[in-house]
Each structure stands twice: as structure tokens, then as C-alpha cells.
Structure 1
């Protein structure tokens, strides 16, 4: 019987384990040094904010693993010997494998800043990071100010967490506008406003120069590169992106780039070794996607895909149309298809943008300026239906059709205010169209009831 070893108990590794068990009686061993049991990483912030307890973000009861014959091993893998198919654990124990799945995720980026390893400096990625934040910033008496370095989604999550305990936060963002490498300018500008309205000291176009220690080796301040200003603080959150967690593989013979190099079947250059999730790097990007995707749902899909291959049904990883969702404080964000930032906009890409005159609600629609084909949509403050946009992208609908039927994609509850009429009116005005938006069809109403 094959011995399947999975390194990493995040969503990618556990999805693989669950689906291998559904498909086979193979022996499954999951190794992790982070926690005994799988948890939902995206929900860590809600534990700190008091909305949930840690046990609430564990999707499976503790008995689930034994009942499903998934063996859990706590520890670090320090070396992989692909010749003997053996893993070294913590420098002592050894585990044999017949097939190996690497699902070790990511670690926070560090860019060699002076003081980056001081007490009080941390990321926000692991359960250990959450525990450390409870020590470093339990309240505003212990942490009189925090500085967050890096303007991505983890950075804004950390800012929201700290503000929930009334801890003052300074947010250093090197870009001239928040997340403007991803968001079009109108959306980025709206999020800048929203951050400031939540009493977060947003410093755009500012870089970290140095983290300064006190006499006990703990953080006492940071120095900003551009101005030389020294900001007193007790905690520094490093949230300037993540890097695949693959250092332990450097002498294994497994091909590495930034992550573990894989083909479309998630196979490495070594027989019987696979990589999935945040640590996997495609040799060639799939469509407009990045070669490495640190996204929850792609990790799950990779886990399901590699399980099929290991159980004799070798299939290609096909993630389909791009989508994602997040929250910027209390604004819900969704994206379907491709809407590039002003910096990364394709030469054929045109944008239509609508923003509510008073509320923090907006959408941006991307379409082909020559063919009129719908390319993607970003929405803030309006919930949309994934399956509807996925279908429209597959059917290659034109943007006029999408605007006419926008009500069918709206996921907001019945008594929420609807904005389709205003959106389409501006679309008509901006582009010289005469589209009449349809109301939500009865068919759609019955389907969602």
C-alpha cells in the first residue's frame, strides 16, 4: 500500500488528504509544525478581534482525523532525500514516503531591514503569529502604537485587528496609493479615504529604513526613509507580501525558483514528488494568473487535483476564470475575470467606473475596447454571484449584455438597496449607449429563494 506523505496542514495539504481518502485506502501522513489540527487561516483575525474562538475556525472535529485514517505528525521537516524517499524530521526522526506532496505554504517577506528580528517585530500568517500578537499587543496600555509595513491585504487586516483594541496604528505604504498595483485608481483612492476615516495613520509613498531597539532589545521606534522621521512604537507588523516556504528543499534535487517548480499536473522534476498551494510555482503562468498564487481557493483546487493524479486519474490543474474576495475594513470586495490596475492595464482594455456619491460603494467593469467583450468586474460594497459572472466569462458575453442583466448577478438580500439603474445610467452617459437595465428575472428569484 502506497505511503502518501503531505508536508503542510493548510488548505492545500488537507484538501489533498481528504480527497485521497475519498478515492483510496492509501496510508496518509500529514506533517506540520504549526498546529495539531487544520484551521482556517483567513479567519485568524476574527479570533484576535473576539468574534470567534480558535476552536471555532477548525472546520473538523478532532476525532475526524483518526476516523478517516489520516495520521497527523507534529514537527519540522529539515531535509528531503529523494534518492531514498526519506524525510528527516527535526534533525533526528525519519519518515519514508512512496509519494510526497509539498504543501508548506508561505512565510512573510523580510528585506534585510536593520532591526527586523527584534522582539516586537512580527508578521501575521501563522497561529504562532496570532499568539505572538496577543503577547505584543494585548491592549493599548502595553502597545501604545503599532507600525505596519506593507500595503497589501494582510496589512489592512492587521490594522483592523489592532484598531479593534483601540491601539493607534501607523500604516507605511510604499506606493503612492493603497494597493494601486492591483486596483484601478478610482478604487484605490476610495480605499485610501476609508482607511483614514477609520483613524489609521496612512502614510503613502513611505518606506521603512530601520527598526530601532531599546536597551532590552525590543522595538522602540521606526525610522522612515523619505523623511528621516523617527516614530515611537511598541510593535512592528511586517506585511510586505509573502515568499514560498521552501528553504529546506535547497539540497533535495527538487527544482526551485521562488517556489517549487511544477508542471500543469503539479508534478516536480522528481518522480513521485508534487507541490501544491502557495509554495508551488508554475513553469509558465496559466493565462493572466501569476506563476505563484497565494490564494485560499486555488490551494484547495490544487489539493483536489493532485489527489486525483495520485489515485490513478492523472488530470491537469485548471483553475478556470480568476476570482477572489476580501474585505477592506467593512467594505466587501469581489473580483471576477481580469480588471487590471492603471499601471498594468492591457492595451486593449477599457474601463467603466461608477462610484456612489455618498457611500463607499463602487464598481469597475473591464471590457475589450475593440470587440466590446466583457473581461472582468471589481465590486466594492455590492455582493455579486460568482456562478453568474463565471458563466458570462465562459460565454464571452459583451459588456452591453452584462450591464443589461446586471440585476441577475446581484447577491444582496431582498431589502438591500439596489444600484443597477444608477450604474447603467452612468454607463450609458459615459459610453453613449442606450441600454435599459432589466429587473431581476423571476427565474433568478426562484433559483435563489
Structure 2
């Protein structure tokens, strides 16, 4: 009887363990041996839930774990926590691993593979400034990170001075979490408005809401130093124009693909530093190496360019594709339209497709419209306002992007636009979409369709003006 193929996975979160689980469903242990190495203390967890754990909305960390190591091992998936892969030798089809809990002689060894899955995720950006590695400065990427921050806050966080550096998704979510715990929160952002994942005019709406919730937001300010006390702990965050007292600092500056191992192994990387793969999630130029999740670049279906998008939804899909292919089936991942949703306090924030700057960078010409509407019929109790911004290509009217900022009922409306983008619809065609209507759920004209009507009219006006 032939020896089973060896599937080795670097990274035990969304992509890695989805790939392992899917491959195991297709092939038993007599055909496929699966080993996964994870350097942290947790696997198969929701990093997206960390702000809500820190904020006391959900329990953690156990509640954020989708499947325990014991459950994986019961399915003949050899998951090894606190084990770091330190090198990849593609020519000899092997990886070097190190036991982090038992250092010393024998802690490192080589493990061979027939199929290697790189699921190393992303790393939080840490600016190279004095004090950035001081005690009390936290990234928020793994459950170990979340646990360190939660333990630092303890049971009573009332009055703790927290500075969040960066106002992207993680930054604003962590700012809300810390404010809910009773901290005095200051957010320092180098751009002119928070949420650079929105156009500045939409980011301004987020800025206003953060102020209403008691979060001080300093924009147009780049951090130059994290000042520490004699004990080595953080005391303040400094910019060129000011100093902000801090008992703790949370970094929310975004992430970059963690592809150090891949780069050292000579594997192909894109402009963002993410691994380049084909549609089957196989690393380009390699028949035996796969990659997915936050460490890869993906095709943007709207712009036609490759981009780095760090989201758990994609990571899980990548894992399913990889596991299917390693398990002998066939699957592909065609690309993304760039859909994301978040919230700060009661404000829901959503976007899909391209921002204005992204559309210009892709060489596209476009028109924009911004509309105000309500989540329900205006006369129905609980109707809340929302702002919808829409980009459409000049001449063709093809939908290019949508941003939504509003109260309850606003965020998930972006899914309609995401489907329209995936289908390559024009804004004119969108106006005929047969969406559900009843006063408790929507006005007669859904807010997204109101924006589509305005955009279609703007495209028509632009054509007449030529």
C-alpha cells in the first residue's frame, strides 16, 4: 500500500484549518496525512471578534474559537500549537519547525511535504519610531494579542487613558471597545478623516459620530514617538503638534501580508508584498505550494488589478478552495469586489467596489452622487437616516463602488451593491432590481436604488453634455 500524501500547513487559523477540514472530508488519513503548525496558543478563531471581547460585548477567548484543537485532532488533523515554521526549502519539499515551549537542543527539526499550504496571515503595521515596542503598546491581530490587552485592562478600566494610533476598521472598533470599558480614548490619525477605507466626505460622518460618543479624534497627525517612563511603560503618544497622555496604546494602522518565509524561499510576491497565486490558489510557478488568506493578493473584479484584502470571509473561502484541490477535487476563487462592513457606536459603515482615489488609480473616469434616505418608510417608527455614495463609470454607467454610512439597517444594504458589482451591472439596470419592500424594512425606493437612479441620471446628463 502506498504511503499517504503529506499535506503540511503553516498557520492554524481561517485559511489553514478550513483547508485542512475540507481536504479531510475528501480524503481519509490512509490517503492524506495532514499536519498544521501554528505558532500562537490558539487556532480556528475569529480575530474579528477581539474588539467585542475587549469591549465586554462577548466572552473570550473560548467563545471566539470555532473548532478546538481536540476537535481537529479527533478528525485526524495533527494540529500543533506553539510550533513555528522558520524556513521553507522548496527544492527538498520540507519546512523547518521549532517548538516554542521547549527551546534548546532538539527544538528544531525538518518536516517533509507533498503539498504545502502557506496561511501565515498578516502582521500589524508598527511604525519605526522611538518607544513603539514599549510595555503597554498592543497590536490586535491574534487571540494572544487580545488576551494581553484584556489582561492589561483588568476588571476595572474606568479612567484608563488609551490612545489608539490609526483610525481604520480595527482602530475605530478598538476605540469603541475601550470607550465602552470606561477608558478616556484618543484616536490619532494621520489622514484628514478617519476610515481611509471611505472617501473623505464619508469619513467625516464617522468623525462626527466618534465625537458624539466621547472619543477624541485627532486627524492630520502622524505619531513621531511613544514616550515612556522610568519603568519602561508607555506614558504618552507624541505627534509633531502635540502630546497625548497614555496608560496604554493600541495600534490600528492596518496590516501587511506576513510573507517573510515566502520571500526567503524565493516565492513570487506582488506589489503589496502578498503572495501571487492562480485561480486555484496555487502559488504561481509551483505545483506543490498553495496559499490563501491575508498573506496573498487577490484579483479585484472591478478594477482588474491585484490587491491585498485582509478579511476572514475571503480567508475561509481560500481554505475551502485549497482543501478541495489538495483533496482531489476542483475549485477556484475568482476574485473580490472589496466589500467590508463595520460599526462605531450606533453608526454602521459599509463599502464595496472602488473609492474615488482607487478608481482614478485604475484609469477610470466616473461620476459620483451622494443621497440621503431612511432605513424604513419615513412614517414607520424607528426609521433612521443613511447616506449612500455611488460611483458609476462615465459613458457606460457601470457601477464602480458604493459607500454607506447610517444607523441601524444601513450596513448590510451594501450586499445589494456587492452583487450588482459582481454581475457587472450598470446603475440604470440596478434601478429595476426587484428588492423586497414593506414599511418596517424599507421605503418604496430602497436607499441603494435611490442612489442608482441619481447615478443613472448623472451618467445620462454627462453623455448629453459631451
**Normalised TM-score (structure 2):** 0.81
1:144–1:52 CA distance, 2 compared to 1 (3 A): closer
3-state SS of 1:176 partner: coil
SS of structure 1 residue aligned to 2:276: strand
1:83 aligns to what?
A: 91
- The residue number in structure 2 matching 1:364 is 389
- Tell me which residue corresponds to 1:21: 24
Aligned residue for 2:221, secondary structure, equals coil
The answer for the alignment partner of 1:241 in structure 2 is 254
Within 1, Cα distance between the matches of 2:50 and 2:158? 21
What secondary structure, in the 3-state scheme, does the structure 1 residue paired with 2:356 have?
Answer: coil
Contact 2:15 2:293 in 1 (8 A): yes
1:42-441 equivalence runs, <5 A: 42-53=48-59, 54-60=61-67, 63-74=70-81, 75-90=83-98, 92-138=108-154, 144-180=160-196, 182-225=197-240, 227=241, 229-256=242-269, 258-268=273-283, 269-281=285-297, 288=303, 290-313=306-329, 315-319=331-335, 321-336=337-352, 338-341=353-356, 344-345=359-360, 347-356=364-373, 361-381=386-406, 382-384=410-412, 388-389=416-417, 391-393=419-421, 395-405=423-433, 408=435, 415-416=440-441, 418=443, 420=445
Q: CA offsets, 1:319-351, max 9 Å, x none?
A: 354433222333233334x24135754642212
> Residue 215 and residue 237 in structure 1: after superposition, are their counterparts in 2 closer, same or farther (change >3 A)?
same
Return the alpha-carbon distance in structure 1 between the equivalents of residues 233 and 148 of structure 2: 14
CA distance in 1, matches of 2:415, 2:449: 21
Distance 1:96 1:418, change over 3 A: same
Change (3 A) 1:219 1:48: same
* Residue number among 35, 38, 45 corresponding to 2:41 in the alignment: 35
In structure 2, distance between residues paired with 1:29 and 1:129: 25
SS at match of 1:361: strand
Alpha-carbon separation, structure 1, partners of 2:44 and 2:430: 39
Per the alignment, in what secondary structure is the counterpart of residue 43 of structure 1?
Answer: helix
Unaligned runs of 5+ residues in structure 2 are: 99-106, 375-382, 459-466
Q: CA deviation at 1:209?
A: 0.7
Normalising by structure 1, what TM-score? 0.84
CA distance in 2, matches of 1:388, 1:232: 43
* Deviates further, 63-72 or 415-424: 415-424
SS at 1:28 equivalent: strand
Q: CA deviation at 1:385?
A: 5.8
**Aligned partners of 1:146 and 1:233 also within 8 Å:** yes
Conservation of the 8 A alpha-carbon contact between 2:10 and 2:16: yes
Supply the distance in 1 between the matched residues of 2:456 and 2:216 (Cα, whole angstroms): 38
Retained in 2: the 8 A contact 1:107–1:242? yes
* Residue in 1 that maps onto 2:8: 5
Other structure's SS at 2:72 match: helix
Aligned length: 425
Q: CA RMSD in A?
A: 3.0
Instruction: Give the Å deviation of 1:363.
Output: 1.1
Q: Structure 1: where are the runs of 5+ without partners?
A: 434-449
- CA change 1:206–1:385 in 2 (3 A) is closer
Deviation at 1:361, TM superposition (A): 1.7
Describe the shift of the 1:369–1:167 C-alpha distance in structure 2 as closer, same or farther (beyond 3 A): same
